[in-house]
Structure 1
Amino acid sequence: MSARDRFGRPPPGEAPRRPPPQGGFRFVALDVETACGPVSSICQIGLACVREDGGIESWSTFVDPGADVAFANTWLHGIGRAHVAGAPLFPAALDLLAPLLGRQPLIQHSGFDSRAVAAACALAGREPPAWLWLDSVRIARAAWPEFKGNGGHGLGHLKRALSLDFHHHDAEEDARAAALVVLKAEARLGLPFTEIAPPPAARRRLAANQG
């Protein structure tokens, strides 16, 4: 196999196609990369599925954002047309992942990923799925308030501050990083992630699910 790029990816055409993870998980972290300015232009979806024992099963797929989209963000994430050639369009990727992602809470690092999914659904003429989203930025702020004004709570700073090992701006790697942030926050605070800074709407849904 040829050398991997700076994001840890094999060259286009050499990455094996894998089915998404199966089974029950405590939570799934989700990250997307986009091809250009509109947040609907999803070109990669990455997952990090966290088991009860803390083990992480990660997965990703490229997504074809549409033939009319210019890859203005390639300099950031390294994804170009060769990577998405033959990849599913967003509706097909959504159908593939919906059975998994509707079963447990989803973690995103900031609100970008849920906005991107909603925008891609709107572009495809579909209602966004009613997934339960939680935010690892909010969780990190609760666990490490000292980072406010001192590097912040973005993945770039958390990578250094928490000694995380991942390739930033690859969706699978960023999803795994968000999952690790949550696990480290749980260990630091001695609380499950569902009790660390959930927004009111998520708190109500979590309470209903436990009832």
Structure 2
Amino acid sequence: MSLPAGPFRFIALDVETANADAASLCQIGLACVRHDGAIEVFSTLIDPRQPFAPFNLALHGIGPAQVRGAPTFPEVLALIAPLLEPQIVIQHSPFDRGAIHRACNAHDLPEPVWHWADSVQIARRAWPEFSGNGGHGLAHLKQALALDFVHHDAGEDAKAAAMVVLRAEVQTGLRLEELIGPARRPRVAAPRQGQADDSRTAVRPVQ
């Protein structure tokens, strides 16, 4: 297996699992975003050494036959960790980080120290109108933003999370580093002489 070669602005990560145990990773995908916005996708199957649940199999189509001969989680982690360590790592909801944590615990491995950011939170800042109106999950964002990807494939879902971030940058006029920081309060001009200070009525930014 060979990974994409940087430099990259950020990398999105997604995982699929064999069953309800978050440690049962059976696929991991990375979407590596270059400085010109190009996205290079890497994905690999993983032998979870666990049984596959019918629900998960129906969801992503990965089963024992597909992972036969695939690398184990420790082998994949050793490959991708050096690439991810200096990057902002995007996940779409906290599930992916939790799955990496659980898998590390299951294999008695130290959890890597990555700079995680959540594209769900980024999407909420960019499109607050989706709250209560479809939400900010990938399924709705695919439709609302006309994103082109195959849901429940780790590489494709990682690409989708990366596209959400890129679209959010355009939508808000903010770079990723600003989007994952505290929401900025709008500047309020100082009142002119003799004019009441109405700064208390300034619109609050979306959290």
- Shorter-chain TM-score category? 0.7 to 0.9
Partner of 1:160: 143
Structure 2: where are the runs of 5+ without partners? 184-207
> What is the number of residues matched between the two proteins?
182
Partner of 1:69: 51
The alpha-carbon deviation at position 82 of structure 1 amounts to: 1.2
Of 80, 86, 111, 2:94 maps to: 111
Aligned Cα RMSD in Å?
A: 1.3
Over 3 Å counting, the alpha-carbon distance change for 1:80 and 1:137 in structure 2 is: same
Q: Give the SS at the match of 1:22.
A: coil
State the distance in 1 between where 2:4 and 2:181 align. Answer: 26
Over 3 Å counting, the alpha-carbon distance change for 1:77 and 1:28 in structure 2 is: same
Q: Give the SS at the match of 2:90.
A: strand
State the distance in 2 between where 1:95 and 1:76 align. Answer: 27
Over 3 Å counting, the alpha-carbon distance change for 1:134 and 1:199 in structure 2 is: farther
State the distance in 1 between where 2:98 and 2:51 align. Answer: 18
Q: Would the aligned equivalents of 1:143 and 1:185 in 2 still touch at CA under 8 Å?
A: yes
State the distance in 1 between where 2:96 and 2:6 align. Answer: 23
The alpha-carbon deviation at position 70 of structure 1 amounts to: 2.7
Partner of 1:14: none
State the distance in 2 between where 1:83 and 1:20 align. Answer: 21
1:144-186 superposed Cα distances (whole Å, 9 cap, x missing partner) = 0000000000000000000001000000000000000000000
Partner of 2:189: none
**Amino acid corresponding to residue 58 of structure 1 in structure 2:** V
1:119-158 equivalent positions in 2, closer than 5 A: 119-158=102-141
The alpha-carbon deviation at position 198 of structure 1 amounts to: 4.0
1:34-90 superposed Cα distances (whole Å, 9 cap, x missing partner) = 000110000000010000000000010000000x42343100011011111111110
TM-score of the aligned structures, taking structure 2 as reference length = 0.85
Q: Would the aligned equivalents of 1:142 and 1:197 in 2 still touch at CA under 8 Å?
A: no
Of 20, 36, 43, 1:60 maps to: 43
State the distance in 2 between where 1:101 and 1:111 align. Answer: 17
- Within the alignment, does 1:193 sit opposite 2:167 as a pair? no
State the distance in 1 between where 2:163 and 2:81 align. Answer: 23
Q: Give the SS at the match of 1:156.
A: helix
1:6-48 superposed Cα distances (whole Å, 9 cap, x missing partner) = xxxxxxxxxxxx4111222100000000000110000000010
Structure 1: where are the runs of 5+ without partners? 1-17, 201-211
1:86-119 superposed Cα distances (whole Å, 9 cap, x missing partner) = 1111000000111101121100000000000000
State the distance in 2 between where 1:198 and 1:181 align. Answer: 17
State the distance in 1 between where 2:34 and 2:53 align. Answer: 35
State the distance in 1 between where 2:116 and 2:110 align. Answer: 16
**Amino acid corresponding to residue 36 of structure 2 in structure 1:** D
State the distance in 1 between where 2:182 and 2:112 align. Answer: 18
